[in-house]
Chains A and B, each alone.
Chain A
């Protein structure tokens, strides 16, 4: 497995001198499993990935498997700018959940409505296959893919891939249920307990993963003011990774208000937590352009 981060930012693209280290493009991660190309999310990082694929394949057919976590802007806005989608030699398999009562293809088509973009989805020349979530593991070549719903407004999926004895998890835009049910539900205490049970299901989903891309949009100081926004604090994500005994956590979906120094300060917080707990977890902030071999 080879992982490459093409976009690590959450919410909105954040270019500029203060984000040059960790990057300004929104969510997009490439995973190579042998010759199979899996892509997680189509944020603005998908555009440079498309440029790279056109160069690599140089006129040969391209097949990609694009996994959409959910259809908020920062996870789909790169799709209209994915150059391989305009080539008749490209086949794109898109995977994701239906929206809230709306088919996935209709949501993707909607962002390319003439009011927003000059080319319609149907005018792209690539062959597009849309596969909606069926709650069963499935194979792509030698890789096995599983998915589970996360806690975020809308229908949001996290994915787990097993390939050649290694496991990879991509689970962004996720907030612990124990916090939302304690603060937004009808019953604080029973809500927290009920939420903890649900959070344990997520721990099981990522358990033992070699590489976990998990979101940590907020510092611990910021999170209390953002409960109910659908994201996690750095401590919450590190704690889950330790409990699940994952090998490496790349924290992801950096907040647009966090410059490189702020992201590095969060990495320091994470490292202190890991040391305090005597855990073996490796942890770093996901950086645009970074390649990790598993």
Chain B
């Protein structure tokens, strides 16, 4: 089955680069430039994974994360937060809110892909 990805990112050039790379790797990619549209898209598409920025107008990444983790459609989806916010309190809070991983920008798209693949191969769920 084709893997699908929603990218929520307000930096349109970074969004284009990431979307192109994942499309070239065979992913079905959908994009949004703010949190509100990103949440709508994620709930409609129910993707295999979501990449989400934090600093965005119209709903920031922490609110996106809280909203998506509260919905059955996305409560277990791999969500990678990518942000230029490099502070430990921000990273800790994102992980508390249910982020699968937090990647400080700038990142390499091939490494991001490897991280997502790794998490997709490890299903989320309660610890035994």
Residues of A within 8 A of B (CB): 97-101, 133-136, 149, 151-155, 177, 180-181, 184-187, 190-191, 194-195, 198, 228, 230
Contacts and interface: CB of A to CB of B under 8 A. Distances in A.
Contacts of B60: 97-98, 149, 155
B62 to A, nearest CB: 4
B97 A100 contact: yes
A134 B35 CA distance: 11
A134 B58 CA distance: 5
Contacts of B120: none
Q: Which applies to chain B's interface (DSSP): helix, strand, loop or mixed?
A: loop
B17 interface: no
A195 B63 contact: no
Contacts of A187: 106
A104 to B, nearest CB: 11
Interface string B87-111: 1111001100100000011110000
B86 A185 contact: yes
B85 interface: yes
Interface in B57-102: 57-58, 60, 62-63, 65-66, 84-90, 93-94, 97
A100 B93 contact: yes
Given A100-B93, A184-B87, A194 B106 contact: yes
Contacts of B15: none
10 contacts: A100-B94, A151-B85, A152-B87, A153-B85, A153-B87, A153-B88, A181-B86, A184-B104, A191-B106, A228-B87
Nearest to A101: B66
B96 to A, nearest CB: 8
B106 A190 contact: yes
Given A100-B94, A153-B87, A153-B90, 15 more contacts: A98-B62, A100-B62, A100-B90, A101-B93, A135-B57, A149-B60, A155-B62, A181-B105, A184-B86, A185-B86, A185-B106, A187-B106, A190-B106, A191-B104, A194-B105
A151 B86 CA distance: 9
A134 B66 CA distance: 18
B118 to A, nearest CB: 16
Interface string B4-34: 0000000000000000000000000000001
Contacts of A155: 60, 62
